[in-house]
Amino acid sequence: MTKAISKASTIQKMPGFNYIKHNFVVPLAYGKGLSQAGSETINVFARELYLPEYQDSRENLPFLVFFQGGPGFESPRPLALDGWIKRALQEYRVLLLDQRGVGNSSAISLEGLLKLSDYKERTAYLSNFRADSIVKDSEMIRRALIGDSKWTTLGQSFGGFITTTYLSYFPEGLEKCFITGGLPPLASNPDEVYRALYPRVIEKNALYRELFPEDHTIVKAIVQHLLNHKEELSTGEILSARRFLGAGLNFGYKSGGFDSLHYLLERAFEGDRLSYYFKRNFENLLTFNTNIIYAILHEAIYCQGEASNWSAERLLPEFPQFDLASSQPLFTGEMIYRFMFDEYACLKPLKDTAQALAEKSDWPNLYDREALKRNQVPVAACLYYDDMYVDRALSLACAATISGAKTWITNEYEHDGLRRDGENILNKLITMVK
């Protein structure tokens, strides 16, 4: 069971809602069951939100726990009562969980990882930060908070992967499950995933050129400039052509994807060099230095008994459109490549660790197909028709495996739909299971 719980001494009051902080101590490593855990522990943080009018009766409300996308990103830090949280708080207490390793939960950082003796120890440590361990944390937290009562989950993107793992191994803890842009491929390694996603990224590049045709010349000029000249970012890191083209990672968002890059390109050059304005703002587009799990475990989130072996990089030659020497170099998407561990300051010391994780083949299973076929938990999932990050066809195959799962396929939203119009999206999912 959870070893300790501590709550904030005071209730924090925000515009439209209150919250209480929770801190849980959980095992770093689990065995097959919750009882087969090691002695080393880590901290997991969660923030419980509720409406002020329920101050004296909040414990009578059911919980909705939120699983953030990523991997490697903390839960939202809401400032006001709006979006999906506004809808959820009408009938739930909301638990914003900082998954293990992120936010206020014993966060993975370069400083912390370098305290471990070598890459082998770091590899063993990081192997405990996938969806299977997050689900076991969640079960311990559920039992500590509400005993045998069930709770409802909302999983965004990677949070939907976590939800599907939860349905596979601990369905007895679940009342209902809502998923947005996150029904996972049930593959054993990422190869099938990237063969499906690279064409999606090519489509997004074509849409970008259609929306901003004048950027074609600027992008090509920047790539050629970076191939022939050394440009340093404010961090001292080199801005390479490959790193620049990684800005396509954001192309799957309705806002902040195409437009942010477009407006940044307007001030790309100052004379014959890239401007400080461009380079400084470009740094903020990609967060591999601050969210290490996102880079170092990205391919591992798909692995079940097989190694990833740098899947995205291995498969890239199958799509020559991304060749740097092409007449119009294309932006890449949510793919991780080995060069990143040569160029990003917080990833460079972890190059050996990343290689070991890429070669690791004894990953435990994340999903139990037979358990999913027997599912009795009501599940409603929103699939984004043009999703660049989670392939629609693979998601539909997953939905067909989960008995009773209801799907809503829409092209009204992109992958950031829950953030942009969460109140309406969650309301529709709630209605679907009712």
Please identify every residue annotated as catalytic: 157, 362, 415
> How many helices and strands, by DSSP H and E, does the chain display?
17, 12
Helix (H) or strand (E) holding 277: helix 276-283
Name, in order, each residue with C-beta under 8 angstroms of 102's C-beta and a sequence gap of 6 or more: 68, 70, 72, 73, 74, 108, 291, 293
Calculate ∠ Cα 58-62-65, nearest 5°.
105
Token representation of residue 44: 């997991």
Angle between helices 258-265 and 276-283 (to 10 degrees): 160
| Whether the Cβ atoms of residue 108 and residue 126 lie closer than 8 Å to each other | yes
Query: What backbone phi and psi angles, to 5 degrees, belong to 155?
Result: -115, 120
Angstrom CA distances, 99 to 109, 323, 325, stand at 14, 36, 41
Rounded distance, CA 40 to CA 31, Å? 13
Angstrom CA distances, 117 to 113, 198, 223, 425, stand at 9, 37, 39, 46
